[in-house]
Structure 1
Amino acid sequence: MHKKVMIQGTGSSVGKSIITAGLCRIFAQDGYRVSPFKSQNMALNSFVDIDGLEMGRAQVVQAEAAKELPRAFMNPILLKPNSDNNSQIIIEGVPAKNMNAVDYFSNSAKLKEIAKRNYKIIEDNFDIGVLEGGGSPAEINLRQWDLVNMGMAELIDAPVILVGNIEIGGVFASLYGNIALLDEKDRKRIKGVIINKFRGDVELLKPGIKMFEDRLQAEGLDIKVLGVVPYINLNIEEEDVLAKKLTTNTNEKKDINISVIRTNKMSNYTDFDALSQYPDVALNYVYDVKELGNEDIIILPGSKNTITDLEMLKANGIFDKIKELHSKGTTVVGICGGFQMLGKEIFDPHHIESNFEKTAGFGILDTVTTMEKVKYTHQVEKTLSKIESPLLEGCNGLVVKGYEIHQGVTKGNEVNLTTEDNLIFIAKENSFGTYIHGVFDNEEFTRKFLNNIRRRKGLAPIDESFSFTDFKEREYDKLADHLRANLSIEEIYKILG
């Protein structure tokens, strides 16, 4: 019989995604077939599954933790913000339309049907479903339209565990306040709470836990604290723009120093997670032109609004600075939107991404990109060939895997290293560009690229390989061990039923 549990939080950034991933790994370790599920996710970070369908990366992480292939039915509704009040709506992995918040909520009945239909796939094929909520269930002004918190729990009759973040203070107030604001029917769905991100001596917390439980008991609610999870440093992918690494520049220096340009609509920053784990690499996110000039590599990342972000780089001086540094020998790499920026011009005749019909690119590559109505979403596996650039010496014949998510088509007079009609991978002198997200997850390619940079600096190459896949597996197991040590997993199994 299928069992399920839903992880909700007192607000954003309390650790719902990580707790969900950890429980997925625990249940998988215990021999169950497990699937994560989040009915509605809002993120610029996305992934393409084996069917070419787009989904949020948080559910990719959770699927990996569950030892399952990520599939779009695990995240059937994905909102990719275009502005403060408008998003591209991805339904079951396919772009539907752009909507503002009012229009979106007016479609809640239909969206709930979509969510329930996709969870039925999990119900029919998996032993356990671990659902993740979004924000807080106590957003009482939205309850009638809700399909990601109690609205989803109601649709499939799921028990709920509520997570609170003690790191920011007021955890008992936030837990109690969320519970108190719910109506009686929703309140009774909560079967336990987790206190997350604790630092200090748990003995000092125990009196508060007892008072919290006693108060709920007096109100007729049998809700127990299932555990206190100490803060732990994990290298597991974080959720979209809330990731702290995008708001902190460490200015760390190592053998190879990389500056990733942080733009307003930056997407898929997880393309660089593997790079950040190489011992000879220092990876920093750059916001200000004053921070540029001492790196070996500059990376232009993907963007949800390539032209708008490119115009921003021109306005803040980063555009001219990159051109200057490139002319002096600094390596410049473009991924997806960044690849489009490296060319001579970008055209947007249908105003897919902006109000501009065209804009000039960096001119580093002899290419032109046109934004088209069709969105390209594919998993890719390509063999590199025709490489003459010393930047990628030794890469001929290597197989590179990843995925494409882009609205534009790039054409031009450069040599395409993947022998496709449309350009998706180009290397030229001290620059390369590609549409392949996850290109740096390919360990042999990445080590050869980094070693070529090392040689150029007069440093000896490093032959030791690094498997990002194996690294992630160890982190998922570390998370599972941490949760087993600090949560009552036996009680969680009872909640499952």
Structure 2
Amino acid sequence: MKGALLVAGTTSDAGKSVVTAGICRWLARRGVRVAPFKAQNMSLNSFVTGDGAEIGRAQAVQAAACGLEPTADMNPILLKPGSDRRSQVVVLGRPMADVDAMEYGALKDRLRTVAVESLDRLRSRYDVVVCEGAGSPAEINLRPGDIANMGLAQAARLPVIVVGDIDRGGVFASMYGTLALLDAADQALVAGFVVNKFRGARELLEPGLDMLRGLTGREVYGVLPWLDGLWMDVEDSLALDNRPPAAASASGRGTLRVAVVRLPRISNFTDVDALASEPGVVVRFVTSAAELDDADLVILPGSRATVSDLAWLRSTGLADAVRERAVKGRPILGVCGGYQMLARTIRDDVESAAGLVEGLGLLPASVEFASEKTLSRPVGEAYGCRVSAYEIHHGTVTVDPTPTPTLVASAGNGERRAEPFLDGCRLGPVWGTTWHGALENDAFRRAFLADVAIVAGRDFAPAPDTSFSALREARLDALGDLVERHMDTGALARLIDGGAPDGLRTLPPGA
């Protein structure tokens, strides 16, 4: 088998990322040399490759589905929104510029060349490249400058399948409408559809599939059932709305309750997926001070807009609630931007241009934003455990090594020196680090949670054998199983090998 395929979707969060990962896993298990690709990704969940390039985290997981180390070519263009109108543009793993929507348009020709060259390099190295689209291919206002969906498909002559989320409702209308809004040349590359997240009686769905085939002249390549318990690394916070709810029985003393503050520009919230994998740990995303009351651990996660999100934290009353927790000696963890918020001061002349800003003052540290972004894969030790992680930040944190006055109740009276914690520090029940992914290290995660439980006064004891990497592999295998069992893999293989069939029907616009 040799070729390529573009997995598009009727909407954001339709399931493009997981379908792409599933096809990659299915092919890899057949011995096919396969790689993932996403030309342009807008996401605040990113990852650092072994050579220090920043790419979307979804592509890193898709690379794992292929049994590969991720590379910058797998996601050559990454957009990281800092506000509703401006984004940082990361090209081949390195920040290139901060632009607004109109300025970005001027870069499109250059970026299209970058994307096509990356895809060409992957196609020269692998038998099959499974490409993921972005948003919907029917964003007709954006089609002239498109480099992620039909623009890429045209440039590389890729056959396209369109994924629709039936759980949202209106899947037939969205699939038909997506096709009908494309021009004739684009429609000629759309080979068919995949229904995602189906639950119910298949026999009730089948007449609709037959009508869709008749109306469009295209195949339905599969109906993927809803799979409980599947939670893969996702691209943006939109998916948090569909995250499996926390278990209702969260009041026992053997349960550890974790509240993650859902910041407006939350980034790398996948850091807490490993916590949710632990038996007895309940993870919730929260947006109000009242939701912190029963939490045993509060996490301030990463942020693409630290100063702005800190202001939001204050406006909602969450900042006061977090400070009150510290005074009472209740556990708090800050990761990257969240760690920066816990410091005494933040000087930001780079990201927000706000200058000197007062932090929450819960850790004896100061932050200064640098123009050069730190991108690395550090290795260290904490609780006697080896920890490997990754860093993505402009803000550099400096910890005051001298004894310092503290508000933290369990840190003792008077002054106390902060203790080292990974690359950051700890003062009583408050921990801070810039390292993402640290909690994926099993031994470290268990030791940290055991310490949190002691500070929180809970009877929780981590399970001794939970392996997050094994859980992720099992989830990837489950996706591969979905493709193998519920898609027409023979037709899919022919599509990859031969491209879109000739003579596909063209629907008149607005038909």
The answer to whether TM tops 0.5 is yes
Distance 1:140 1:300 in 2: 38
Which ranges in structure 1 are unaligned for 5 or more consecutive residues?
218-222, 385-394
> What residue is the counterpart of 2:200 in the other structure?
200
> What residue is the counterpart of 2:232 in the other structure?
236
Amino acid aligned to 2:358: A
Distance 2:371 2:226 in 1: 45
Contact 2:73–2:119 at 8 Å: present in 1 too? yes
Name the CA shift for 1:460/1:197 in 2 (closer, same or farther; >3 Å): closer
Contact 1:248–1:285 at 8 Å: present in 2 too? no
Contact 2:3–2:128 at 8 Å: present in 1 too? yes
Map of 1:148-227 to 2, 5 A cutoff? Answer: 148-217=148-217, 223-227=218-222
Q: Does 1:413 align with 2:400?
A: yes
Tell me the alpha carbon deviations over residues 454-486 of structure 1, each in whole angstroms, 9 at most, x when there is no partner.
Answer: 345262644512110000001111111122111
> What residue is the counterpart of 1:439 in the other structure?
438
Distance 2:214 2:460 in 1: 64
> What residue is the counterpart of 2:281 in the other structure?
281
> What residue is the counterpart of 2:381 in the other structure?
383
Amino acid aligned to 2:227: I
Deviation at 1:215, TM superposition (A): 2.5
SS at match of 2:390: strand
Distance 1:120 1:463 in 2: 46
Tell me the alpha carbon deviations over residues 82-126 of structure 1, each in whole angstroms, 9 at most, x when there is no partner.
Answer: 111211111111111111112212222111100011112211111
Distance 1:77 1:315 in 2: 34
Deviation at 1:20, TM superposition (A): 0.4
Contact 1:410–1:424 at 8 Å: present in 2 too? no
> What residue is the counterpart of 1:115 in the other structure?
115
Contact 2:267–2:303 at 8 Å: present in 1 too? yes
Contact 1:444–1:465 at 8 Å: present in 2 too? no
Name the CA shift for 1:376/1:27 in 2 (closer, same or farther; >3 Å): same
> What residue is the counterpart of 1:80 in the other structure?
80
Name the CA shift for 1:248/1:207 in 2 (closer, same or farther; >3 Å): closer
Name the CA shift for 1:463/1:492 in 2 (closer, same or farther; >3 Å): closer
Amino acid aligned to 2:436: H
> What residue is the counterpart of 1:364 in the other structure?
362
Distance 2:265 2:47 in 1: 16
Deviation at 1:53, TM superposition (A): 0.8
Contact 2:38–2:75 at 8 Å: present in 1 too? yes
Contact 2:258–2:283 at 8 Å: present in 1 too? yes
Deviation at 1:452, TM superposition (A): 2.3
SS at match of 1:294: coil
> What residue is the counterpart of 1:53 in the other structure?
53
Contact 1:382–1:399 at 8 Å: present in 2 too? yes
Contact 1:166–1:195 at 8 Å: present in 2 too? yes
Contact 2:57–2:234 at 8 Å: present in 1 too? no
Contact 2:266–2:302 at 8 Å: present in 1 too? yes
SS at match of 1:129: strand
Distance 1:114 1:80 in 2: 18
> What residue is the counterpart of 1:10 in the other structure?
10
Name the CA shift for 1:204/1:461 in 2 (closer, same or farther; >3 Å): closer
Deviation at 1:332, TM superposition (A): 1.1
Distance 2:466 2:301 in 1: 23
Deviation at 1:447, TM superposition (A): 0.5
Instruction: Give the TM-score normalised by the residue count of structure 1.
Output: 0.92
Q: Does 1:400 align with 2:387?
A: yes
Deviation at 1:161, TM superposition (A): 1.0
> What residue is the counterpart of 2:473 in the other structure?
473
Question: Pairwise CA RMSD of aligned residues?
Answer: 1.8
Distance 1:121 1:294 in 2: 52
> What residue is the counterpart of 1:448 in the other structure?
447
Amino acid aligned to 1:229: L
Tell me the alpha carbon deviations over residues 58-92 of structure 1, each in whole angstroms, 9 at most, x when there is no partner.
Answer: 11121111111111210000011111121111111
SS at match of 1:353: coil
Distance 2:244 2:322 in 1: 21
Distance 2:285 2:9 in 1: 29
Contact 2:453–2:459 at 8 Å: present in 1 too? yes
Deviation at 1:7, TM superposition (A): 0.5
Tell me the alpha carbon deviations over residues 412-459 of structure 1, each in whole angstroms, 9 at most, x when there is no partner.
Answer: 3245737xxxx9221222121111101110110110111223345262
> What residue is the counterpart of 2:132 in the other structure?
132
Which ranges in structure 2 are unaligned for 5 or more consecutive residues?
402-417, 498-511
Instruction: Give the TM-score normalised by the residue count of structure 2.
Output: 0.89
Map of 1:295-374 to 2, 5 A cutoff? Answer: 295-348=295-348, 350=349, 352-374=350-372
Amino acid aligned to 1:425: G
> What residue is the counterpart of 1:392 in the other structure?
none
Aligned pair count reads 475
Name the CA shift for 1:369/1:296 in 2 (closer, same or farther; >3 Å): same
Contact 1:246–1:262 at 8 Å: present in 2 too? no
Distance 1:74 1:372 in 2: 27
SS at match of 1:78: strand
Distance 2:54 2:273 in 1: 20
Distance 1:290 1:429 in 2: 23
> What residue is the counterpart of 1:424 in the other structure?
423
Deviation at 1:207, TM superposition (A): 1.9
Deviation at 1:10, TM superposition (A): 1.6
Amino acid aligned to 1:239: E
Name the CA shift for 1:432/1:202 in 2 (closer, same or farther; >3 Å): same
Contact 1:249–1:286 at 8 Å: present in 2 too? no
SS at match of 1:260: strand
Contact 1:258–1:297 at 8 Å: present in 2 too? yes
Structure with higher RCO (Cα < 8 A, 6+ apart): 2
